[in-house]
A and B are shown apart, each in its own frame.
Chain A
Amino acid sequence: MATRLKFENSCEVGVFSKLTNAYCLVAIGGSENFYSAFEAELSDVIPVIRTSIGGTRIVGRLCIGNKNGLLLPHTTTDQELQHLKNSLPDQVRVQRIEEKLSALGNCIACNDHVALTHTDLDKETEEVVADVLGVEVFRQTVAGNILVGSYCAFSNKGGLVHPHTSVEDLDELSTLLQVPLVAGTVNRGSEVIAAGMTVNDWTAFCGADTTATELSVIENVFKLREAKPSAIVDEMRKSLFDS
């Protein structure tokens, strides 16, 4: 189910939150409505943790994680690190890494099995990613942009990429990631997908400006409508979306 919300009048919810299958990180300092939206959906299933990273609110763009682990930039303070270690479930490995490109959320996009990284990422970081997150790492670009973490968002079920991605690129990425991909937009035509939304296997949160069309595309590609009777969904899928 996809929900539309805003963080302090900004529709870029992917900047202020990080959603995975095992936990959810949310920035502090916003209104209670923001947390309520997350808690309403998720609190009985996974922990929703309020935190800052390096004293900033842009938690979604600075860290990267999946159900196996969480990677934090070197700017994270010890207190934050400790807080996170305490709040997260035990099977989630938390690690702070030394990397020149400190906005890990912009540089790496991952799900539970595969990760796409910035082409200039250190070899060491790549190894840490492979190790801590337990994923296969591929250096890639999306529609000519090296900030793969910003311009694509994918879960174990599907993925959404930058709208200018060519058909060949889409096929290539799809083969790598082994999930169906679609090129689309979020927040009324914004191309920065991962900043405008955050997603896991059963739910997604998008900015309030997201149009109905975009929302339907998201719900279809990430397979968020599984709960509904499938016949209608299949019909709709055929008419709306073929890739």
Chain B
Amino acid sequence: MAQDAGMFMVHQTIGSVLCCKCGIRMQPNAANMCVKCLRSEVDITEGLLKRLVLVHCPECESYLQPPRTWVKLQLESKELLTFCLKKLQKNMNINKVKLVNAEFIWTEPHSKRVKVKVSVQKEVYNGAILEQSYLVEYVQQDHMCESCSRVAANPDQWVAAVQLRQHVSHRRTFYYLEQLILRHGAAARAVRIKQMDHGIDFYFSNRSHGNKFVEFIGKVAPVKSRSDKQLVSHDSKSNNYNYKYTFSVEISPICREDLICLPPKAAAILGNIGPIVVCTKVTNSIALLDPLTLKFGFLDAEQYWRTSFKSLLTSRQLVEYIVFDIEPVSSEITVGGTKYVLADAQVARVSDFGSNDTQFSIRTHLGHLLKPGDHALGYDLYGANTNDMELDRYKGYIPEVVLIKKSYEEKRQKKRAKARSWKLKSLNMEVDDKIKVDEDKRDAEYEHFLKDLEENPELRFNISLYQNKDYQPSEVASVTEDDGEPIPSVPDDELLAANLLAAEFDDLDLIEDGDGEDNMAE
């Protein structure tokens, strides 16, 4: 440019001309008309859509995106603005008009009108760009979307059902599963959840939801599943077949802390560990520990169901023992994440203690936990009356007592304030009225489950615990000072803040007893 070359340029003042239409003074532009005259000449919004229809579902507040998708949108939101503008885009491109700005004009929510003020630009008269804003009115037409109409037509309609069963006499697994499901939101799409004898039924409106749920369960428990379908209706003209799908999921009856006598086949898979084993952990595989040798093995779901064995003794049959003497035999060994110490111990049943001299010398894997004078829970093979073929067949050494865990019952009884600092949510389950429900048994089982959670941090790993707003910490503090050893409790940092979830919490019926125990409302 001449200016860059250093030439002297006279400063150019832009003169003024008269607008060719109205005669007012203005700076010359490409059209040589003042803006008002230009606007009156040319209407760049001519040919643009000004009135459009939005199809809206009043039940779920969503809008139709042709041909078949429904999107959930809030009034006066950015997403709704984008949605509305997309409808104008094609028409604008045809008219060679450029969109510059758009905003909502407030309308009454129930007026069924959405007004958007749109600013557009267009080139007119060889080079002059004119900007104009105009109003677009969207009429909201109500039309129920497919899913809402299906729900309204038959609210109990389900397409897929998952029947979860475990043939054991307690419901501990289901309490734990319930918490897992809540944490991962696996039952979010369930239409209905029903509590049945020995299990829970989940109903879904879509086969894929049911399938996803079954896969989720398969990842957290050792299961065997099968699926079936039943024809509901058939349209011969278009060859549409509607089915109801059922998934039958059976969870293995082996639970944590169960005592098992392994059949020879299973023992062979696991490297011939002693026939008496303790189940230490159940996820999608079963962890078994031989208490006498500290050897362990894992059985995944398939392997288990091939050699399906039942437990010898379950945690119902745990008996309390008192430990007189303990002598570690081996050093600390870490087995599958937890430490064990093999030890020789002298124990006696609490029921025998004081009344007779029956004592047992046993080998236990809890050497790291027990001290003389402690109480422990274990299985009494000496006095038990078992009906197990494998045990009868086995000719080798069977221990008389197998200790499972340390007992905190004594200390718990001293604890005056029974309220816990945490609480759990529960699933919205229907209870079948036809089955007789033993309330006390249920409550005791649940209390047991909560105690389990307190004692085992690894159980709490996958569960969300929430702060109990009504909990008063002061009472508990005094209790812990009395004992040398604190009762196992859940540390505060594991609890999720209740205020984040306060709204959801209000839906739950958590009733507090007179003495402060929390019960689950079913």
Contact = CB atoms under 8 A, between A and B. Distances in A.
Interface of A: 163-170, 183-185, 188-191, 211-214, 216-217, 240-241
A211 B20 contact: yes
A135 B313 CA distance: 128
A184 B20 CA distance: 8
A240 B23 contact: yes
B13 interface: yes
A84 B19 CA distance: 40
Main secondary structure of the interface of A (DSSP, over half): mixed
Contact of B22 (A163, A165, A188, A213): A213
Nearest to A169: B12
Given A213-B19, A213-B21, 8 more contacts: A165-B15, A169-B12, A170-B15, A183-B15, A211-B21, A213-B20, A213-B23, A214-B20
A216 B20 CA distance: 10
Interface of B: 10-23, 28, 31-33, 125
A145 B331 CA distance: 102
A167 B31 CA distance: 20
A185 B32 contact: yes
Contacts of A211: 20-21
A213 B22 CA distance: 7
A166 B15 CA distance: 5
Contacts of A169: 12
Main secondary structure of the interface of B (DSSP, over half): loop
Given A185-B32, A189-B33, A189-B125, A166 B12 contact: yes
A168 B20 contact: no
A163 B17 contact: yes
6 contacts: A168-B13, A184-B18, A188-B20, A189-B32, A190-B32, A213-B22
Contacts of A164: 14, 28
Contacts of A166: 12-15
A200 B17 CA distance: 23
Nearest to B125: A189
Contacts of B28: 163-164, 183
B125 A213 contact: no
B18 A168 contact: no
Nearest to B23: A213
A241 B25 CA distance: 9
B311 to A, nearest CB: 98
B65 to A, nearest CB: 45
A144 B92 CA distance: 36
7 smallest beta-carbon distances between A and B, as pairs: A189-B32, A213-B23, A166-B12, A163-B28, A167-B13, A185-B32, A163-B17
B351 to A, nearest CB: 112
Given A163-B28, A191-B32, A213-B22, A185 B13 contact: no
Nearest to A144: B12
B18 A240 contact: yes
Contacts of A185: 17, 20, 32
Contacts of A168: 10-13
Contacts of B22: 213
